[in-house]
A and B are shown apart, each in its own frame.
Chain A
Amino acid sequence: MQGEKKLKQIAEKVLNFSTAQETEVLLFVGNNFLTRFANNQIHQNVAWHDLGISIRIVNDKKIGVASTNSFDDESLKKLVDKAIKLAKLQKPDKNFISLPKPRKIPKVKNEVYEAKEDELAKSVYTVIKKAKKNKLIASGAYANDTSELAVANSRGVWAYHAGSSCNLSTIILGKTSSGFAADVGRNVKSVNAEKVAKTAIKKTIDSANPKDIKPGEYEVILEPQAVSEMLAFFQWYGPNARIYHEQASCLSGKMGSRVFGKNITIIDDPFHPEIFPMPFDYEGQPKKTMTIVEKGILKNIAYDSYYAKRYKKQNTGHALPAPNTMGPIPLHLYIKPGSKTKEQMIKSVKYGLLVTRLWYVRVLNPKTLNVTGMTRDGTFLIENGKIVRPVKNLRFNQNIPEALNNVVSVENKLTRLASFEGELVNLMPTLQIKKWQFSSGTLF
């Protein structure tokens, strides 16, 4: 931990070194521990610490960005000089107006927790012990990340946030199957290693000896992890101002129109009580809760200061670090819960598949949002409202907007899902989707 005071001192020093018309300073601190296990043993146990700085310089609408992790005065002066030199060589961006000015940032608690010696290894050992008892093989990772982010600019912006996450995930391997489970919390106590092990072991046992199944169109029930994996590319290519205005998004030109089924409401909420809050973006602008799709109607998309000024819209606080060639991205999406339980969904399916996870999802066409990918870690056939047997994994080729127009029901609760790295956590329900296109099978 560096703390707000120290980071502010560094930021002020750099702003004083700069002779540019406008300067932005971004400071990142990371204290990270990760215990990785496989074949029922810990095989990687690592720690790393870094403090980095990135600055954006603006002179006559010409922008330069430079970064370093050296913090002596000479290195910081060099960094400023480098960014000014880069900006000098730039062509003016006529669409750039200015860096943003300060706006009130919502107050959130900085929750920091650094795992004590053995804490991660102890939880990992809990998972390994349970796997061994069931004659299965455990693999996975337990990460404890503490990060600090600070943003300052020459117009008076100052924003600081610190937070930690403890993130345990496992894949349990059987002879013919695998099962996945994960949990995430602010500290080790809030992560239930016993439950993670139990869930993954059950999936592994239930999905043993999978049978071949013919590819084709199926009704599917996607569990929360699969829904999150399905929506990942929508998040990047959908409600993104840059892509939207380039006419390259599946949502382009559809503001105020129906884009998904009436039962789909998608919200970006960086303050949801079930996730770790993120009060500001990488330009130090406040975040707020934003409904993107309401009952199937497109209501809002994400903007940062550049695209908000360019298209005369309100900045929604979705900037990524400069230079951002991706566009503004909403990072805290969830689908509003519906009224059914997963069990009720299964009961209502005559012939379909229950999918635990998707894997290696990739975009075939970013405009139409056609994606391909595989199922993984537990796929099951449902017949007449009952799970009858595990099946081998399948490749799908699916249009995401079509899928979100064919949702039969949305689960009545959200599950908190961990990302593989860092603080980012999202919430998803199980979805029952009438039609999902599987194009081929694999050998396991």
Chain B
Amino acid sequence: MPMLKLAQEILGKIPKVEYADVRIVEQDTEDIAIKDGIVEALQSGHSLGYNVRVLHKEVWGFAASNDFSKSGIDATIKKAMEIANSSAKYKTTDVSLDSQKPITASYKTPIKEDPFEVPLEEKIDLLLKADKAQKVSPKVVITQSSYQANREKKYFVSTLGSKIDQEIIWTGAGIESSAVSGAEFQNRSYPNSFRGQNQTRGFELVRGLELEKHAPRIAKEAVDLLTADLCPSGEFDLILDGNQLALQIHESCGHAVELDRALGYEASYAGTSFLTPEKLFTFQYGSPIVNLTADATIPGGLGTFGYDDEGTKAQRTYLVKKGIFQDYITSRETSVELHKINPKYNKKSNGTVRASSWSRLPMIRMTNINLEPGGEVGTGKAWALDELIADTKYGIFMSTNRSWSIDDKRYNFQFGTEIAWEIKNGKLGRMLRNPTYQGITPQFWNSCDAICGRPEWTVWGTPNCGKGQPSQVMYTGHGASPARFRKVKIGVVNW
């Protein structure tokens, strides 16, 4: 039976409630991990299941199962209803949703080459070559290359009359060299650390990365880092490469603008947000050239899709405009709640609700959260990275994340990167090891005085964003180009 029809049949069995939706989700994954010339992981995964979400007596009930038998479906619906009834006994407020029109739609990630159709031999060969090309020195003790592909078919129906089917495909790959000398251990990755680059694109992404070509350079940098000088400590100008800035955006903006966090719904786990509702439309989050958007429509972005898991169309929203805090990422429920708290807020959901699998409750997740590039309306000059370095008298240029940590309101952060270079009188100088920087989010973003333009702007994928109880790992994207921040606390730890 076609899945959308099956989803409608399940929906039809649900007793009369205020609202209900059903999602059937089928996920296929493929992972290859090479280490020191050995294929350490060659794995294929498949998961199929469904969930029932009911709004009954103004509270939610949710149940999920992979049992599609008649009795399995009946039991799942019964469980969702029982849960709603149980919650209703203890409710203190009523859930209301924004108004939506029924949608009938289909969406498929546009790709050039289906990663699941590329012969496995070819993928393994590509990764083995990239692994071998890292062996440039006996000091390179670990070489790794990895590839992953994911296909998610989602079928959504609701009592509003919506019927949406989607097929989202994302692919990723990367390499990592580790060099050791005595107690010193250094890593270099390409094109990014922690599983490389990931996008909603096909295998064309992996081919375009040219892993083998970049492998010797990356491995040599890992070796050179062993004897590089320690990053100096002090308040210096800082230029962040796009791949590091992407994670900075993720942690200090992306999580801070999740409306469920700001309203306290994540307090028990990941914390709350300093961006409280009264700050909307007035708070100076960043300098006037800082424009941050949530945009689920960017071609290739890892957080790109057609419709969210509540059936709201993907969209682009300004979160920070000319430095001023403008909006959150929202859901049908929280947008209504925010209006009650701040009547100036009069918007419906901006379509950011997703679940990591059929067994999880959809919640607000980052889509593609981006720092708009220089040279656009309100973003200042479109700098080139060379120009930006030439314009810096003394500073540090840092690339590729190594560690990240931020407090539970998203104020105090510390990041470490794999590599840095000193900038002296407008020129890149010595390589520096163990670079770190610290800051307080609004102070940091208010010190941003230059952003590189669109030619150097990339949507970086962050496939490992954790949130919620039970934990959900989501794939998100971050558009960023290199940018400069003045007088940042750098090299805070010498280790």
Q: Are A32 and B407 in contact (CB-based, < 8 A)? A: no
- A124-B264 in contact given A51-B66, A364-B416, A439-B438 (Cβ < 8 Å): no
Q: Are A121 and B47 in contact (CB-based, < 8 A)? A: no
Q: Which residues of B contact A440 (CB under 8 A)?
A: 412, 414, 438, 489, 492
Interface string of A40-82 (1 = CB under 8 A from B): 1111111111111000000000011111111000000001001
Say yes or no for A366: interface residue by CB 8 A criterion.
yes
Interface string of A325-367 (1 = CB under 8 A from B): 1000000000000000000000000000000000111111111
Q: Are A45 and B47 in contact (CB-based, < 8 A)? A: no
Given B142, B359, B402, B412, which contacts A395 in the complex, CB threshold below 8 Å? B412
Q: Are A45 and B83 in contact (CB-based, < 8 A)? A: yes
Q: Which residues of A contact B84 (CB under 8 A)?
A: 45
Q: Are B40 and A141 in contact (CB-based, < 8 A)? A: no
- Interface with B: A88-96, A216-224, A264-272, which one? A88-96
Say yes or no for B128: interface residue by CB 8 A criterion.
yes
Given A70, A87, A323, which contacts B48 in the complex, CB threshold below 8 Å? A70
Say yes or no for B180: interface residue by CB 8 A criterion.
yes
Say yes or no for B230: interface residue by CB 8 A criterion.
no
How many residue pairs bridge A and B at CB < 8 Å? 255
Size of the A side of the interface (Cβ < 8 Å), in residues, is 88
Name the residue among B35, B89, B405 with the largest chain A CB count within 10 angstroms.
B405
Q: In the complex, what's the smallest C-beta–C-beta distance from A167 to chain B, in angstroms?
A: 10
Q: Are B403 and A246 in contact (CB-based, < 8 A)? A: no
Q: Which residues of B contact A311 (CB under 8 A)?
A: none
Say yes or no for B98: interface residue by CB 8 A criterion.
no
- Interface with B: A187-195, A368-376, A406-414, A427-435, which one? A368-376
Say yes or no for B385: interface residue by CB 8 A criterion.
no
Q: Are A46 and B62 in contact (CB-based, < 8 A)? A: yes
**B contact residues, range:** 35 or more
Given A45, A82, A170, A443, which contacts B268 in the complex, CB threshold below 8 Å? A170
Say yes or no for A125: interface residue by CB 8 A criterion.
yes
Say yes or no for B129: interface residue by CB 8 A criterion.
no
- A359-B408 in contact given A323-B42, A372-B403 (Cβ < 8 Å): yes
Q: In the complex, what's the smallest C-beta–C-beta distance from B438 to chain A, in angstroms?
A: 5
Bound complex: CA A137 to CA B40 (Å)? 48
Q: Are A365 and B495 in contact (CB-based, < 8 A)? A: yes
Q: Which residues of A contact B91 (CB under 8 A)?
A: 41-42
Report A's interface with B, CB cutoff 8 A. Answer: 32, 34-52, 63-70, 79, 82-83, 85-87, 89-91, 93, 95, 117-118, 121, 124-125, 128, 137, 139-141, 143, 169-171, 173, 178, 246-248, 323, 325, 359-368, 370, 372-374, 376, 393, 395, 397, 399, 420-421, 437, 439-444
Given contacts A34-B470, A363-B403, A442-B409, 13 further A-B contacts (CB under 8 A): A44-B60, A91-B37, A91-B124, A137-B264, A139-B265, A169-B268, A325-B35, A359-B271, A360-B406, A364-B403, A365-B495, A374-B407, A443-B274
Q: List 20 A-B contacts (CB under 8 A).
A: A40-B92, A41-B93, A45-B62, A45-B87, A46-B64, A48-B63, A67-B43, A67-B44, A68-B47, A69-B47, A85-B120, A90-B42, A91-B38, A121-B87, A128-B90, A325-B35, A364-B416, A365-B185, A420-B469, A421-B471
Closest 4 CB pairs of A and B: A323-B41, A367-B185, A442-B412, A48-B64
